[in-house]
């Protein structure tokens, strides 16, 4: 990568000003204009109340056990907390493609004078049932000093289930993709930009309360779901809100706010907590037409499982052992580390939980699929990374087998903070990364990424034709980030699909126009709805191009869909980053072309 210019230390804009802003992580010289603008009770904690699905055969593998050396647990009396946080951060600050994986867990109580700087593959979380059970009087910080003030590569880190009282009144969380902020309570403001207001490209907030104002500043796009905020300062290209109390009103494209009053269906991510001295995993219940946080009255609704019903996996365990544990009726808790798989992990039982800590990473060897789910109710996949291996895999994650047709509307499968990477940490290849066959599946925050930098990167070296393929009907995506695939980034074949927020970049490294020619069409759409689909809807969808090998490449459109009465889109945009390639249209043959080097979005407010 060519070094990017150092952003000037522009002060934060106010609600009545605007500033010249920033480009994308490898966008190297593109610039974007920043436009300024202005609870639930009831908990079943008994194992009997939870959908464990355990069989009665004698167990060959034990449930429960310790969480391993890379889960670091603190309580308020733990000595040297700051030193330990600093030690982990020093290892992880710039280890973008390293092998370290850490979960920093805080028992309920109050902590004082801490600054938890969060680096790569590091998760910080509280162990209470409510974020307010665990209070950090201090900061949980993500900044970009390691990358000269550019936050566009601050991937793979998370914060969850904590209350924070920031030292100066505002907490800094300057992240890019795959960096969720869930179940957080910020008793102050939240700044999403790096120090100096350099480039930033995120991000995702859910089930969180920010008492003060959220300042995205240079963030190009962001999705906030089922939360409460004290205000939102500005927007660059694509700011999307669903079910957010205090969200700005609908105003796309100026300011670029897409606002839905509620989220159609949501079910929050499972999380580890302490009930006395016993670890349990809480399973939040499904909500329809959701708005605001789930923990407003201090106690969320849902069920919980004891850790004894989980096989606590450590790196080095085989896929055969993981499958044996699942066959016995255990759930899986993947402790931090890297897991090589010589066969798929096969989830066949309804209501199974597969929960990763600290960015536990699955690597399929010899071209296998990392994880497959049967066409059953209520599976919860959450909190892990799948890293493609050097031998091509046909798929990396499959939810439901081909032809799955069962109705799961009452108890859908959820895929949350499950991230997929092809290349970057070394050569990786996969034909299609994520395939959703089961009906009613909710994909809630994913980043599916064919790497544009790192090791093992090249048009054929980390070949990956398709990112996400949805075959199942009634699938909902909330927070869909899919980037750089050789052909289609998203293909949607199921009926009645819905996407709230989509962020995409076309592959930077296409060698020439011929390499992306799609029959008579110039380039493959970022988001393609199949011609057979009669009902589909999307809100707040953006696609960017940056063809840095051949800047003369033309992409006909970012979005392609049938012209059918039931297929509708709201608030679409395409952006040419610095004039490196151009779009002729936004969706189908509609929308103005991009042109020049000004990095100004071309938008379509409503289609058709």
Catalytic residues: 505
Q: 3-state class of 100 per DSSP? A: coil
Q: How many CB atoms lie within 10 A of CB 55?
A: 12
- Residue closest to 449 by CA, chosen among 51, 195, 137, 156: 156
Q: 3-state class of 320 per DSSP? A: helix
Measured CA to CA, the distance from residue 115 to residue 247 in angstroms comes to 28
Position of tokens 């066969």? Answer: 343
- Residue closest to 422 by CA, chosen among 459, 464, 360, 453: 464
Position of tokens 């600050």? Answer: 93
Contacts of 246 (CB under 8 A, 6+ apart): 228, 229, 230, 231, 232
Q: Give Cα separations from 246 to 263, 467, 478 (angstroms).
A: 15, 34, 19
Element (H, E) at 220: none
Q: 3-state class of 197 per DSSP? A: coil
Please say whether the beta carbons of 345 and 356 come within 8 A. no
Please say whether the beta carbons of 486 and 418 come within 8 A. no
Please say whether the beta carbons of 333 and 306 come within 8 A. no
Q: 3-state class of 387 per DSSP? A: strand
Please say whether the beta carbons of 79 and 105 come within 8 A. no
């Amino acid at each position: 990568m060519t070094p990017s210019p150092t952003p000037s230390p522009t002060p934060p804009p106010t609600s009545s000003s605007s500033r010249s802003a920033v480009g994308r992580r490898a966008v190297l010289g593109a610039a974007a204009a920043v436009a300024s603008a202005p609870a639930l009770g009831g908990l079943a904690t008994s194992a009997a109340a939870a959908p464990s699905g355990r069989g009665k055969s004698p167990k060959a593998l034990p449930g429960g056990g310790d969480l391993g050396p890379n889960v670091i647990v603190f309580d308020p009396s733990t000595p040297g907390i700051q030193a330990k946080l600093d030690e982990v951060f020093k290892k992880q600050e710039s280890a973008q493609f390293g092998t370290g994986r850490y979960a920093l867990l805080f028992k309920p109580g109050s902590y004082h004078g801490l600054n938890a700087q969060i680096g790569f593959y590091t998760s910080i979380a509280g162990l209470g049932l409510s974020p307010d059970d665990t209070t950090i009087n201090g900061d949980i910080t993500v900044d970009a000093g390691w990358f000269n003030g550019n936050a566009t590569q601050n991937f793979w880190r998370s914060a969850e289930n904590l209350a924070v009282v920031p030292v100066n009144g505002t907490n800094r969380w300057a992240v890019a993709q795959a960096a969720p902020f869930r179940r957080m309570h910020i008793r102050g403001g939240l700044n999403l930009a790096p120090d100096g207001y350099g480039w930033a490209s995120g991000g995702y907030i859910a089930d969180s309360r920010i008492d003060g104002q959220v300042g995205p500043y240079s963030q190009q796009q962001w999705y906030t779901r089922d939360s409460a905020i004290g205000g939102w300062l500005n927007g660059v290209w694509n700011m999307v809100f669903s079910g957010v109390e205090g969200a700005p009103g609908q105003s796309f494209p100026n300011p670029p706010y897409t606002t839905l009053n509620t989220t159609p269906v949501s079910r929050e991510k499972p999380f580890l907590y302490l009930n006395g001295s016993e670890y349990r995993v809480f399973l939040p219940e499904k909500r329809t037409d959701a708005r605001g946080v789930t923990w407003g009255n201090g106690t969320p609704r849902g069920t919980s499982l004891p850790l004894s019903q989980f096989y606590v996996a450590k790196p080095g365990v085989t896929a055969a052992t993981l499958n044996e544990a699942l066959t016995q009726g255990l759930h899986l808790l993947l402790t931090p580390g890297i897991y090589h798989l010589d066969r798929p992990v096969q989830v066949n039982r309804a209501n199974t939980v597969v929960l990763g800590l600290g960015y536990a990473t699955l690597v399929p060897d010899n071209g296998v699929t990392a994880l497959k789910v049967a066409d059953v109710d209520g599976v919860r996949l959450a909190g892990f990374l799948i890293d493609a291996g050097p031998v091509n895999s046909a798929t990396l994650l499959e939810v439901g087998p081909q032809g799955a047709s069962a109705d799961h509307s009452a108890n859908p499968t959820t895929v949350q903070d499950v991230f997929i990477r092809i290349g970057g940490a070394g050569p990786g290849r996969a034909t299609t990364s994520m395939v959703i066959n089961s009906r009613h599946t909710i994909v809630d925050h994913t980043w599916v990424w064919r790497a544009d930098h790192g090791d093992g990167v090249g048009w054929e070296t980390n070949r990956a034709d398709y990112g996400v393929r949805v075959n199942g009907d009634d699938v909902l995506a909330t927070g869909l980030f899919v980037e750089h695939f050789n052909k289609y980034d998203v293909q949607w074949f199921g009926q009645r699909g819905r996407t709230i927020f989509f962020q995409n970049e076309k592959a930077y490294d296409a060698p020439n126009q011929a390499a992306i020619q799609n029959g008579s069409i110039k380039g493959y759409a970022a988001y393609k709805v199949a011609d057979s689909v009669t009902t589909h809807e999307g809100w707040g969808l953006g696609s960017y191009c940056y063809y840095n090998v051949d800047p003369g490449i033309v992409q006909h459109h970012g979005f392609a869909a049938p012209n059918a009465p039931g297929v509708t889109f709201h608030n679409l945009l395409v952006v040419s980053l610095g004039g490196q390639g151009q779009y002729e249209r936004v969706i189908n043959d509609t929308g103005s072309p991009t042109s020049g080097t000004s990095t100004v979005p071309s938008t379509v407010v409503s289609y058709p």
